[in-house]
Structure 1
Amino acid sequence: MKAFVFAAGKGTRMRPLTDHTPKPLLTVDGKPLIDYHLEKLAAAGFTEVMINLSYLGDQIRAHCGNGHRYGLSIDYSEEGPEPLETGGALAHCLPWFDGESFAMISADVVADLDYEILARSVETLAQRGLQAELVLTHNPSHHPQGDFGLRAGCLTLQATPRHTYTGIGTATAQFIAEFPERRERFPLREALHFWLVQAKVGGLLHRGQWCDVGTPERLAAIQSAPSA
């Protein structure tokens, strides 16, 4: 099984911590954020991982290597000095997906989610008629309005209550390949909105711990009680 880890962001809101360190290598209880994801992916049966790189990407490549120490095979997608955004990052790697469904994970989130849930989602997306499935959670204080509602297991912009996208989910290769507005640089949300109006994007509600490590204060807050 394949997984894509988003790791190309500049981490501007995390400065000065990210002045010399890419955000995926910031640590929670001494372990880099990206390691939590890679270890959990391997434990859940994923074998191939693509990591996109831009800002200080050489450090991420040097740290993760070929992936063998995690029990994975890791490849890298070099995006240059300006990241391709989340949708563009996936579009750039369409040949690597080779038509297979995959997990997609933001390196800068921390959650106690069991990644076997992602493995089951990847294996069943197509037969359930879905193009993607997102893991949603409670709305944090910095994002009280949430992102999506859930209706009959599918995402919607109309239903309430609304929940927050965790930055963790799964998708088919067709999710990007057949998105008509695909281009070199675009945000993932555009493809999500295209498919969700067709009831093709599922949702799973995670009720455990989760944190979007978006500021130094949030990173500090989870040091004493890591949730991964």
Structure 2
Amino acid sequence: MPCLLLAAGRGERMRPLTDTTPKPLLQIQGKSLLQWHIEALVAANARRIVINHAWLGEQIELALGDGAKWGAQIQYSSEETALETAGGIRKALALLNPEPYFLVINGDVFCPGFPIAAFTSRFQAQLSNGNKLLAYLALVLNPPQHPDGDFYLHGEQVNDKPRDADFEERKLTFSGIGIYHQSLFADLKLGEAVKLAPLLRSAMAKNQVFGEKYAGPWHDVGTPQRLYELNQSYDPK
């Protein structure tokens, strides 16, 4: 299964660091966020990788090249201006050439140890059970900066509405890690900036979004302070 690493964002909240460096090239313990993802993908035998970029994208290509040094095969989907998540995915589909599913990971999250192989295996099990999936998402506990969460997890189905109005449920946060069917993006105009959330909510209304809760290390590296704290506290050993 090919993987798209999303790396086109401007990283406004990370300024001034991102004035001269694209956010996904910022480092934790001497390795860029993108390198952490690439090494994890290769370890899971997911070697075909596409990276989209816009802001300072030439730095990403210079830093990572064709991926051979990690045993990966990297291609790049260049965007003149960032096309939002769904628009970026739509543009990268030609390079991904999925059959018909593909993995997507936000380039600015730090999730060392995320079980990519097990995640894709559980997704395949859903297909084997006859479920028709347009998306399979990894959800995490709500971080302090996003206390209200994004979606509900009802068993293995993901929804944006609670199961029962009389039963208080807590939303979980979308991790930025998901597996998608290419048809989810089929109606999008190439080169148009489109957000992902409305597409997911439309698929949720048809019970075509499944997922799981991930309780391991996961961080949205959204501010210089969070980046600093991770560099101070994370022990790669």
What TM-score do the two structures reach when normalised by structure 1? 0.92
Aligned twin of 1:163: 172
1:49, 1:73 within 8 Å by CA — same for their partners in 2?
yes
**Aligned partner of 1:189 among 175, 183, 197:** 197
Deviations 1:166-201 (A, max 9, x none): 111111112222xx4x23210111211111111111
SS in 1 for 2:4: strand
2:77, 2:95 within 8 Å by CA — same for their partners in 1?
no
2:138, 2:177 within 8 Å by CA — same for their partners in 1?
yes
Counterpart check, 1:114 vs 2:115 = yes
Paired residue type of 1:222? L
1:133, 1:171 within 8 Å by CA — same for their partners in 2?
yes
Paired residue type of 1:86? T
Deviations 1:122-168 (A, max 9, x none): 64564431111111101011110000001131111122221001111
Aligned twin of 2:166: none
1:2, 1:103 within 8 Å by CA — same for their partners in 2?
yes
How many Å separate the matches in 2 of 1:122 and 1:77?
A: 26
- With over 3 angstroms needed to count, the CA separation of the structure-2 counterparts of 1:123 and 1:95, relative to structure 1, is farther
Aligned twin of 1:129: 132
1:133, 1:201 within 8 Å by CA — same for their partners in 2?
yes
Aligned residues between the structures = 224
RMSD: 1.6
SS in 2 for 1:93: helix
Identity value in percent: 36
1:134, 1:170 within 8 Å by CA — same for their partners in 2?
yes
1:148, 1:162 within 8 Å by CA — same for their partners in 2?
yes
Aligned twin of 1:26: 26
Counterpart check, 1:212 vs 2:213 = no
What TM-score do the two structures reach when normalised by structure 2? 0.89
Aligned twin of 1:153: 156
Q: Report how far residue 226 of structure 1 moved.
A: 2.8
Paired residue type of 1:150? L
Gaps of 5+ in 1: none
1:10-49 to 2 correspondence within 5 Å? 10-49=10-49
How many Å separate the matches in 2 of 1:30 and 1:117?
A: 27
How many Å separate the matches in 1 of 2:95 and 2:124?
A: 18
How many Å separate the matches in 2 of 1:144 and 1:151?
A: 19
Gaps of 5+ in 2: 163-168
SS in 1 for 2:197: helix
Paired residue type of 1:196? M
Whichever of the two has the greater Rg, that structure is 2
SS in 2 for 1:224: helix
Counterpart check, 1:93 vs 2:92 = yes
- With over 3 angstroms needed to count, the CA separation of the structure-2 counterparts of 1:98 and 1:125, relative to structure 1, is farther
- With over 3 angstroms needed to count, the CA separation of the structure-2 counterparts of 1:227 and 1:200, relative to structure 1, is farther
